[in-house]
Amino acid sequence: MTSPDAEDWRAYGPPSLPRVLDAALQRFAEQGYHGTSIRDLAADAGLSVPGVYHHYRSKQEILLALMMAVMDELLERSAAALASAPDDPSAQFDVLVESLLRFHMFRRRQAFVASSEIRSLAPENRRRYVERRDEQQRMLDRVVVAGTDARAFGTPYPVDASRAVASLCVGVASWYRDDGPLEPDELVRRHLVLARGLVGAAG
């Protein structure tokens, strides 16, 4: 799935999902994969049960399609953020961290489902999803290692630091609220300070 906002990685409108996946996102977030039936999804999507099966062969296929759509948007935004930055590890680190933070602020429900329902994926589907998820981590790893090699970052453990930064960003989804005390830009500013500290950024 291509995000309509991919050209401006900081801009977030309503998620663009096919109606069955949108119904699945809401239901899985509220009552879990195992607590949701195909009949529930059909009713929410305004389709008959055979209509759902016309598009997806099973509830498992719906879960995988939803989780891959979430990861596709995250990867698209990360790639767009990197493309917007100069060829400098510090600048690339900042935009990549900012993109991760904004995604986990504005796509909290998607992040929750992707994190909590990985256990519900069949083994082969889990492998496929984890492979895509690891692309995101490798993207951040490469930037942190490049910054360490260029002596822009002082951490002696670049890959461990990269994982810690990713965890910092992902964790935002568990507590951020639109009506909370921090505006998105201020949250990004503060968390960039924390993320730079984890990699030992100079200055």
Q: What is the pLDDT of residues 54-65, one digit of tens each?
A: 999 999 999 999
Q: What is the pLDDT of residues 127-136, one digit of tens each?
A: 999 999 999 9
Confidence of residue 154 (pLDDT cuts 50, 70, 90): very high
Q: What is the pLDDT of residues 29-39, one digit of tens each?
A: 999 999 999 99
Q: How much is the average pLDDT of 10-21?
A: 94
Q: What is the rounded CA–CA span in Å between residue 119 and residue 59?
A: 14
Under DSSP, is residue 11 helix (H, G, I), strand (E, B) or coil? coil
Confidence of residue 27 (pLDDT cuts 50, 70, 90): very high
Which residue is listed with tokens 């099973």? Answer: 58
Q: How much is the average pLDDT of 3-9?
A: 60
Kindly report the three-state secondary structure assignment for every residue of 164-189. HHHHHHHHHHHCCCCCCCCCHHHHHH
What's phi and psi for 15, nearest 5 deg? -65, 140
Confidence of residue 177 (pLDDT cuts 50, 70, 90): very high
User: Minimal CA–CA distance to 9: which of 74, 67, 68, 94?
Assistant: 74
pTM of the model: 0.92
Lowest pLDDT segment from 4-18, 84-98, 181-195: 4-18
Structural domains in the chain, CATH included, are 60-199 (1.10.357.10)
User: Minimal CA–CA distance to 158: which of 97, 101, 200, 98?
Assistant: 200
* Count of beta carbons in the 10 Å neighbourhood of residue 43: 15
pLDDT of residue 5: 45
pLDDT of residue 2: 43
